Structure 1
């Protein structure tokens, strides 16, 4: 009888705790600080099982270059001012990014990426080294990239003053949209 009570207690605890664990795993969020090296003024955010290609002419066409964001279904390319050293912050949100004041940023662009595998990766270029691997709920996500301190950066230098804030949240819509355009004065 005593062993049966213990078994029932453990079962009851599991039944009470499991929904909380599942709720967290279905809506993961988090903040990640990134500090890494890449080349050719770009890095990628993608599904771990991406099938899109970044090498065709449609990925980095003139619209993508001006928007500073290349896109396919399951991989996006983020254009940077610095050639090599990148500093960024990635925030995985549960709801849409509510920031509306873009005055402190040089450029703000929004796009979309499908993360079907539930594993998001940040990759450098050209060797696609995994910089970050994070678990997310499989879904389509809106992605917003805030670029700041890009002025006076020599695009051929490894080190620059540029910094990037990336927010990601579950959401529909596939179009790329520039919310604030960078103008090199």
Structure 2
């Protein structure tokens, strides 16, 4: 027969063990979010005006001459089936919001944005990652349902940003929802003066 104080002791030990596991996962860089839909703030540093959204088990080569093509640079989005390269105006500081939606993004008024582009991505592993460049450090990991998704990138604050400076007024809103369309499509093109 288990006494009351023994149950409390077991409960507190279990709680302590769970906390330790989460701390170890965080320190090891293995912490991830398990909420499949919702909004996530991205605030990290990258280099060379780009960062990546990808399947954790991506196999594509972002260094190939078919990824960052002249069209991809112009459209501000490099595309392969399991990774997207998002072009940013600032050299290094990424300030963005990522929102995972259950259905297609209904927004059609792009007046407040300088550039809007979308494309498809396949997440076969069920683990979506946001990576910087060039060291591909993971800044966000999300468990999502494996499948094909549409990703839309809204870019704002691009005017008067020094592309060689780490900081700028540029901000990005990224929405993602289940969808089988994979082609890149510019919904609003940035016009540089």
- State the partner residue of 1:128: 136
Is 1:142 the counterpart of 2:175? The answer is: no
Q: Which runs of 5+ in 1 are unaligned?
A: 1-26
Aligned pair partner of 1:82 in 90, 93, 102: 90
8 A contact 2:36–2:142 mirrored in 1: no
Gaps of 5+ in 2: 1-34
The two structures have a TM-score, normalised by structure 2, of 0.81
User: How far apart are the structure 2 equivalents of 1:65 and 1:112?
Assistant: 17
Question: Deviations for 1:119-174, whole angstroms, at most 9, x for unmatched residues?
Answer: 00000000000010001100100000000001100000000000000000000111
C-alpha distance in structure 2 between counterparts of 1:52 and 1:140, whole Å: 16
- Provide the residue aligned with 1:181 in structure 2: 189
Count of residues in Structure 1 that have an aligned counterpart in Structure 2: 159
Indicate the SS of the match to 1:28.
Answer: coil
- The equivalent residue for 1:63 is 71
Matches of 1:83 and 1:174, distance apart in 2: 28
**Separation of aligned partners in 2, 1:49 and 1:83:** 27
Query: Is residue 109 of structure 2 the alignment partner of residue 98 of structure 1?
Result: no
Q: What TM-score do you get using the length of structure 1 for normalisation? A: 0.85
Indicate the SS of the match to 1:65: helix
Residue 53 of structure 2 corresponds to residue 50 of structure 1: no
Which secondary structure does the structure 2 equivalent of 1:152 belong to? coil
CA positional deviation for 1:28: 2.5
Distance 1:119 1:39 in 2: 24
Partner of 1:3: none
Where do 1:101-112 residues align within 5 Å?
Answer: 101-112=109-120
Q: Distance in 2 between matches of 1:68 and 1:41?
A: 10
Q: Secondary structure at the match of 1:64?
A: helix
